[in-house]
Amino acid sequence: MHCERRIISGELHYPRIPPEYWQARLAMARAMGLNAVSTYMFWNCHEQRPGTFDFTGPYDVAAFIRLAQTQELDVIVRPGPYVCAEWEYGGLPAWLLKNGKLAVRSLDERYTDPVRRWLFRLGEELHPYLRSRGGPIVAVQLENEYGAYGSDTAYLLWLQETLREAGFTGVPFYTIDQPSDLARGSLSALPIAVTFAPGDPGVQFEVLRKLRPDGPLLCGEYWAGWFDHWGEPHARLDDALQTADLDWMLAAGVSVNIYMFHGGTNFGFWNGANAFEPSPYQPTTTSYDYQAALDEAGRPTQKYAAFRECITRNTGNAPPAVPATPELIGFAPFSLDRYAPLPDLLGPSVESERLMTMEELDQAFGFILYRMSVDARARTLLHIEGVRDYATIMLDGRTVAHLDRRLNETDALLPAGSQNATLDILVENCGQINYGPAFSDDCKGIIGEVSIDGRTPARWKIFSLAFDTFPDVPWRRERTRGPALYGGTLHLETPGDAFFDVTDIGKGVLWINGRNAGRCWNIGPQTCLYVPGVWLRPGDNDVAVFDVFDRAESPRIAAGWSATVPMRAQSSTKPYRAE
C-alpha cells in the first residue's frame, strides 16, 4: 500500500451493496474526503460452482472499480483468496470441503489448483484497471491476516508469484496483520499494514516500526465500529475516540484504511461466523452496519460528519458537497396469510446408510432434512453429535425440540408416539465459520453420529433445501403446525429503501419479490432487515418468510428504522444531515 500519495481510504464491499447504489456510496466516500476505497474480492460469490465464474450484476467488480475511478478514488484490491470479512467461509467456496478435510491456505495442491484458476480469472477482469495501465488500482493485498493462521513463507511466496502471473503487475503488494502476528504473516521484501481497534495508534505502530524501521506506516484496517453476532448484545464503540485516533494518524502522515466506511448487508446466506472458546459458534447477523460512518441504508451519520471535518482539517483539502440521501419509506403492518408447509417444499431425496453433509450433496447454503422411521412407542433420548448449526426436531410432523450449536446442545427427549413414527431433523446452515480455530473444517448438516437410546440408525432419507431460488409451490389457506413458508402482499404507492421489522418471526429467512433479504431470529440483536428500494415496485410486492418455529398464527411484518431499532423506538440515534 506504499503508493505515490498518502492513502486515506474507506472499506466497502461490492456484494454487500446493491449495484444500483454503488455510484451513490462511492460519491459519499469522496464527499467525506477519502481519496481511495478498499474492497475484498469474494471468491465464493464469483465461483459458486467449480470452473463456472460469475462477474455480472452484484459481482461485476470491474464495473465497481470503474465507478470508483469516476469519483477520483484510488482502489486497493484484496483478492485473498481468504478474506475473513465476517463472510461465509471467509470468502472460500464451500465446494472445497466436498471431499473431506482440506489444508486450506497452504501449498496443498487440492487448494492451490483452484486458487490459481480463480486468481487467473480474476486477473482477466482487473488487470486493465491497474495503475500501471492507467487505472485506479494502486495496491494489491497478499492474503489476509495470514499470521493469525500460519507462518508458511513458501505459501506466501507462491501466492505472490501466482498473482503476478495472473496479471497483477506494476503495482505494489503488501501483507496485513494484527500487531502480534506481523512477523508470522509477512515477507521481508513487502510493506506491512497493521490492523487494530480504537485505542492508542502510536502503540500499534511501535510494533510495526520495530519490524520495519524504514518502511511506510500503514494502517490496513482501522476498526471504526464492529459487527454483531446473533444472541449477543449489539456492539457499540466510542465515536469520539475513533475521531481522535483518526486525527492522530492523519497528523502523523500515516496511510489509513477505515474499516468499514460503509458496511452494508449480508444479503441472502452470505454471513459468516466466529468460533472461539468458550462459545463454540457465533453466527454473524444479516446486517453489517458496523456502526460505520455511512449506515446500512447509505445515510451519513454523526461519525461521518466528524471524520469529514477531521480529514478536511488535516489535509487542507475541501471535499465535495455531501450528496442528499433518500428518506426511508414506512408502511402499515401486514400479515403473511398464505401458507406452504415444509413437506410441500421438499424435492426428491437421497437414500443413504450414513449421514451426508451439505457439501457432499453439492449444497452450499440453506437447510438439509434428515428423515428416518423410529419406534416411538416409549419416550426415547435422541443424541446428535455435530449439529451444524441449528436443528429442528420433528416427530410425525410435530416439532418436539430444537438444538443450537451456539449452546453446545446435543440431546433431545422424544415424546411417545407411534411404532413407525417419522423422525425429521431439519438442520440450518447458519453461516460457515470465517475466523477461529475451527475455520478450516466447517462442513454443514450433521457431521457426527445420531443415536436413539444408544442405537445408531441404519438408513436415512436426505432432502436438500438450499433455497438457491425462491420455491415455486402452491399456497394454501389452511394451516398445520411445524416449519413452513408464509406469504403475503405489501402494497406500495412509491417504493423506497425500507427496514422490515421482523420481530414477529421466530427463526428464518425473508424474501422480497423473490430476492433473499437475509435471516431473522427473535433472539436479536437484529430486529429489522434492510430492503433496498430497488428491490421494491409500485403496487403489490410479494413478501415471504420461512420460519422454523411452530406458529399458532400468521406472522406480521411492520416498518422499521434501522437494523437493531424498530421504527416505534427510533429515538435512540439520528443520522447526520448535511446542511
Supply the residues annotated as catalytic.
145, 221
Cell numbers for 506: 421466530
* CA gap 432, 284 in Å, rounded: 10
* CA gap 41, 35 in Å, rounded: 20
Cell numbers for 64: 465497481
Buried b (16+ CB within 10 A) or exposed e, 278-309: ebebbbbbbbbbbbbbbbbbbbbbebbbbbbe
Strand 556-560 and strand 498-501: the pairing is antiparallel
DSSP code, position 179: G
* Residue 40: CA count within 13 A, CB half-sphere: 27
Type of residue found at 494: T
* CA gap 527, 236 in Å, rounded: 16
Strand partners, 531: 498
* CA gap 380, 358 in Å, rounded: 27
Phi/psi for 288 (5° steps) reads -120, 40
* SS3 letters across 237-264: CCHHHHHHHHHHHHHCCCEEEEECCECC
DSSP E strands in 466-538: the ranges are 484-492, 498-501, 507-512, 515-521, 528-531
Residue with cell 446500512: 296
Residues in the chain: 579
Pick the closest to residue 111 from 126, 124, 93 (CA basis): 93
- Contact by Cβ (8 Å): 270, 23: no
